[in-house]
Structure 1
């Protein structure tokens, strides 16, 4: 089976507008969780969020989309990260349009980030806005297909918080099976009343910056962002710069509860086990775990239970949601890039805001920046509502 290599990355999040800026924030322990400046909601002044810095107008100008219609914030964030990824991989217009190139994106809210505008349009309170075709989950994907004339296989995945991790898994499987030579994979989500109100109704939003794996954790912070990776079959990479290999992946669904994972960590254990087994490595070869780590009581307890069941000694782990907030459908791809940065630069980043580490399993997240730490393999977890659990293993190519 063909090896799947990462040749390009692009990201925008609360801690930076590109890969370099995100990397600097991680190294310096700089969180992006604060009061939102662009998100309009009754909760904007009450709760902290991981909001990307540029306004919609700034993004349109940056992307030369001032005259384009129907671009929601979701689409703008996606385009920004996508642009960086394909440029980083030096993909030509011919390669982008090849039927051997796939695009698999992910989102949970899609164009419904315009919650109020959607309400107005749906209830015939307008003559029909420019966003009538932009509300669907796949609208941003369609706009990317049209902008770049992508003609190969395309799909948009919504499996809640594991969405873009599943996009990466699907892209890797297409390449391994010979159905594609390359796949641009990732996801996007923007802050929206729709999701903020929904999560607030579950009573799992924290009033302060989230503290995953803290004994006194009290919930998550919602964030926004987009991230894309260019995956290519080893036999077409040539002399390109390669970041890492997609070495393994696993997906499981414990179907325990609509918004909680089983206490026994059934889905989490299976997804991690499948990813490590497919990578063909031993558990002790995992040098770092980017945990799903939302900061909710259920998630962090269950995830630690799963890690303790599989690892004789849990390797260094953190939750980078303490930097970006929970970016929902984008989280898997955002954290995949962060995991690859740890591999490439031989470093592990601190898990922020932890004051009293959890007592369970005698496991402590990394509490300070760890330079000069060789990471041959990194495991990245993304666990979604309904128990849809996905784990990815990335490996060094050097």
Structure 2
């Protein structure tokens, strides 16, 4: 049994950077990743902004060594997972029980869309290779195979809490003595199916999103991948590098209020945060920074704010939504924000909530608007998904 779980490596690709250092620079300098769609072919291009990774599939395939036919979701996953493993620097990893626990909601649907567009043209059009990686687990498996991870592989899809739940599962498997190392996080690529679905819900902002602003008008969809390498105490002691932080607490709850909306009083969000604090044996005043789920929709920000007001009291922790940089990356968001949270603890960083001009009137707290450096001992990172699936992770200084 391993009592503590450490973050040994980080990997990310998003609209604000193709690796950890590029993303961190964008966070420091306030560079958001939203723009008009370039790679997503939609009739709404130029009307509704998205947060795309700035590399096309050919460039991603060349970088990863995976064939283009695996699709954008797998290519993004490979970039971030490989960076995380390289960053961890675990020699002779084949002698350890290593697992790959990845999350995705879109999987290979971008290629499936192409297949159906082609097949409807008739005359034998449509390449069956385009549907090989449609299923969520196939994305995980192709990346695990490329990384030569054979100890344990599984896929999680719990909507926007997916990556956080992947990290949670990785930690539990290590604590149970089933794994020594877990590469955990998630990946999602933009696709017309996802874009049109959110547009039908009428929660896409035609301007850059404004989480926790009184005049917020919806979210911006994004894409990317983020992974952390979790290691046991025994493995951490063998590595010739300093760990980023400890994954000290976590919890998953489900308020089951609505298919696509959080309960107005944020009961699921409240319980996830409360139970994560209990697991970490921390009090609310121990939290220095909250990485908000903060999508910018009316319902989400209201529910999360209500949960924070119920659980915390003045002086409230610093807080912000980094989705104001990356957009909402759906199944990848918990992994991407776990990377940001680990960096916040390691380097003492508070990220700004971009475009916040009029704080929500309902709450006695407001998100940060400036990047700053200060001591950060504990970060609470929230990931709340459709169906009321709510997850909170706590990252702590060593």
Range into which the TM-score falls when normalised by the shorter chain: over 0.9
**Partner residue, 1:144:** 143
Contact 2:51 2:222 in 1 (8 A): yes
**Partner residue, 2:213:** 214
**Partner residue, 1:361:** 363
In the alignment, the residues of structure 1 paired with residue 46 and residue 154 of structure 2 have an alpha-carbon distance, to the nearest angstrom, of 36
In the alignment, the residues of structure 1 paired with residue 289 and residue 234 of structure 2 have an alpha-carbon distance, to the nearest angstrom, of 28
- Structure 1 unaligned segments of length 5 or more: list them: none
In the alignment, the residues of structure 2 paired with residue 133 and residue 326 of structure 1 have an alpha-carbon distance, to the nearest angstrom, of 26
**Partner residue, 2:153:** 154
SS at match of 1:188: strand
- Pairing partner for 2:327 from 325, 328, 340: 325
SS at match of 2:253: strand
In the alignment, the residues of structure 2 paired with residue 269 and residue 396 of structure 1 have an alpha-carbon distance, to the nearest angstrom, of 23
**Partner residue, 2:190:** 191
In the alignment, the residues of structure 2 paired with residue 310 and residue 185 of structure 1 have an alpha-carbon distance, to the nearest angstrom, of 28
SS at match of 2:282: coil
| 1:15-50 C-alpha deviation (Å, 9 max, x unpaired) | 000000100100111111111221111122211111
| 1:258-290 C-alpha deviation (Å, 9 max, x unpaired) | 000111211001100111110011110000000
1:100-115 equivalent positions in 2, closer than 5 A: 100-115=97-112
1:57-136 equivalent positions in 2, closer than 5 A: 57-65=58-66, 68=67, 70-92=69-91, 94-95=92-93, 97-98=94-95, 100-120=97-117, 126=125, 128-136=127-135
Q: 1:394 to 1:113 in 2, by over 3 A?
A: same
**Partner residue, 1:349:** 351
In the alignment, the residues of structure 2 paired with residue 327 and residue 266 of structure 1 have an alpha-carbon distance, to the nearest angstrom, of 24
Contact 2:96 2:181 in 1 (8 A): no
Q: Give the superposition deviation at 1:140.
A: 1.6
Q: Give the superposition deviation at 1:240.
A: 2.6
Contact 1:157 1:167 in 2 (8 A): yes
Q: Give the superposition deviation at 1:121.
A: 7.3
1:1-398 equivalent positions in 2, closer than 5 A: 1-65=2-66, 68=67, 70-92=69-91, 94-95=92-93, 97-98=94-95, 100-120=97-117, 126=125, 128-237=127-236, 238=238, 239-313=240-314, 314-371=316-373, 373-397=374-398
In the alignment, the residues of structure 1 paired with residue 216 and residue 62 of structure 2 have an alpha-carbon distance, to the nearest angstrom, of 40
Contact 1:31 1:324 in 2 (8 A): yes
Q: Which moved more, 1:244-253 or 1:147-156?
A: 147-156
In the alignment, the residues of structure 1 paired with residue 113 and residue 232 of structure 2 have an alpha-carbon distance, to the nearest angstrom, of 43
In the alignment, the residues of structure 2 paired with residue 118 and residue 137 of structure 1 have an alpha-carbon distance, to the nearest angstrom, of 17
Q: Give the superposition deviation at 1:61.
A: 1.7
| 1:235-272 C-alpha deviation (Å, 9 max, x unpaired) | 11223320010000010000000000111211001100
TM-score by length of structure 1 reads 0.95
Q: Give the superposition deviation at 1:114.
A: 2.4
| 1:300-319 C-alpha deviation (Å, 9 max, x unpaired) | 01101000111112210000
SS at match of 1:276: helix
- Structure 2 unaligned segments of length 5 or more: list them: none
Considering only aligned residues, what root-mean-square deviation do their CA atoms show, in Å?
Answer: 1.5
Contact 1:121 1:132 in 2 (8 A): no
Q: Give the superposition deviation at 1:98.
A: 4.8
In the alignment, the residues of structure 2 paired with residue 311 and residue 203 of structure 1 have an alpha-carbon distance, to the nearest angstrom, of 31
In the alignment, the residues of structure 2 paired with residue 149 and residue 347 of structure 1 have an alpha-carbon distance, to the nearest angstrom, of 34
Q: 1:256 to 1:243 in 2, by over 3 A?
A: same
In the alignment, the residues of structure 2 paired with residue 275 and residue 261 of structure 1 have an alpha-carbon distance, to the nearest angstrom, of 19
Q: 1:358 to 1:146 in 2, by over 3 A?
A: same
Q: Which moved more, 1:212-221 or 1:146-155?
A: 146-155
